[in-house]
C-alpha cells in the first residue's frame, strides 16, 4: 500500500503548488496576528514575553483552522472523493495521505515561521526547541482532528462556522498542553511532561482519526 500512499502525497503536493494562496493564507494570518499583538498591548518586553506562549499557540490554532475548510472541498466538487470511496484501496490510508500532504505544506511551514515571530515577542532563545517540538506535534494533531470536521461538513456550502463549532472543543487539550509546555520552558521548569502528553495525543490522532475522516467522507459523499 505504500505505492498509492506516496503517489497520493505527490499528487496533493502538485495541486498545492498550483494553488499557492491556499498555503500562504494561513501563514500570513499567523504572522499578522502575532505582529499586531504588540501594538495592542504595548511594547513592554516582560509583558509580551509572559503572554507569548498563549499568543503563539492561539494564533497557530486559528491559522490551522483557517486552512481546513477547503481541505476536501475541491475533491468533493470534481468527484474525486466518490472515486476514493469506491476505490479498492483503504479509504483511511488515502485520507491520511491527503492530510499529511496538507500538513507538510501548511503546518510544517508554520512551525518554521514560528521561531522568528516568537523572538519578536521577546521569547528567550532557550525556549525555541520546546516551541518547535510542541508546534511540530501540535499542528499535526490539529490538522488530523480538523480533518474530521472538514470531512463531515464538506458537502455544506457554508460549513466554515459549523466546522469551527465541531472542532474547537477537540482543540482545547492540544492548546493547553502546547502552551503549557512553552510556559514551563519560559519559567525554567521541565516541559517534558507536557510534550509527552502532546506526543501521546499525536499518536492517537494518527492512529484513530483516519477512520473517523473516512467515515465522515463516506457519509458526506453518500448524501
Whole-angstrom Cα distance, residue 70 to residue 67? 7
- Residue that wins the pLDDT comparison between 172 and 19: 172
pLDDT at 222 over 70: no
Contact 102, 59 (CB under 8 A): no
Task: Provide mean pLDDT across the span 111-126.
Answer: 88
Full-model pTM: 0.90
Residue-wise pLDDT for 18-66, tens only, equals 877 778 888 999 999 988 888 887 777 788 888 888 899 999 999 998 8
Mean pLDDT of 117-141: 91
Domain boundaries, the chain: 2-222
Residue 102 in contact with residue 74, Cβ under 8 Å? Answer: no
Q: Compute the average pLDDT of residues 58-87.
A: 84
User: What pLDDT score was predicted for residue 130?
Assistant: 93
Please, what's the b/e burial string for 106-130 (b: 16 or more CB within 10 A of its CB; e: otherwise)? bbebbbebbbebbeebbbeeebbeb
> What percentage of residues in the chain have a pLDDT greater than 90?
37
Burial class (CB in 10 A: 0-12, 13-18, 19+), 54: middle
Q: What's residue 210's pLDDT?
A: 93
Amino acid at each position: 500500500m505504500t505505492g498509492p500512499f506516496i503517489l497520493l502525497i505527490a499528487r496533493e503536493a502538485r495541486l498545492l503548488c498550483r494553488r499557492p494562496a491556499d498555503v500562504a493564507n494561513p501563514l500570513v494570518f499567523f504572522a499578522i496576528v502575532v505582529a499586531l499583538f504588540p501594538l495592542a498591548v504595548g511594547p513592554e518586553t516582560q509583558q509580551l514575553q509572559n503572554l507569548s506562549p498563549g499568543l503563539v499557540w492561539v494564533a497557530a490554532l486559528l491559522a490551522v483552522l483557517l486552512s481546513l475548510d477547503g481541505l476536501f472541498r475541491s475533491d468533493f466538487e470534481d468527484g474525486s472523493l466518490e472515486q476514493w470511496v469506491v476505490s479498492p484501496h483503504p479509504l483511511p490510508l488515502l485520507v491520511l495521505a491527503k492530510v499529511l500532504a496538507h500538513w507538510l505544506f501548511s503546518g510544517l511551514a508554520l512551525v518554521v515561521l514560528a521561531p522568528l515571530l516568537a523572538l519578536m515577542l521577546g521569547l528567550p532563545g532557550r525556549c525555541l526547541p520546546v516551541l518547535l517540538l510542541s508546534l511540530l506535534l501540535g499542528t499535526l494533531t490539529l490538522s488530523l482532528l480538523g480533518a474530521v470536521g472538514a470531512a463531515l461538513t464538506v458537502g455544506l456550502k457554508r460549513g466554515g462556522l459549523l466546522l469551527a463549532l465541531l472542532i474547537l472543543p477537540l482543540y482545547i487539550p492540544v492548546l493547553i498542553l502546547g502552551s503549557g509546555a512553552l510556559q514551563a520552558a519560559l519559567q525554567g521548569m521541565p516541559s517534558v511532561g507536557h510534550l509527552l502528553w502532546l506526543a501521546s495525543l499525536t499518536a492517537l490522532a494518527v492512529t484513530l482519526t483516519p477512520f473517523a475522516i473516512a467515515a465522515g467522507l463516506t457519509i458526506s459523499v453518500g448524501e
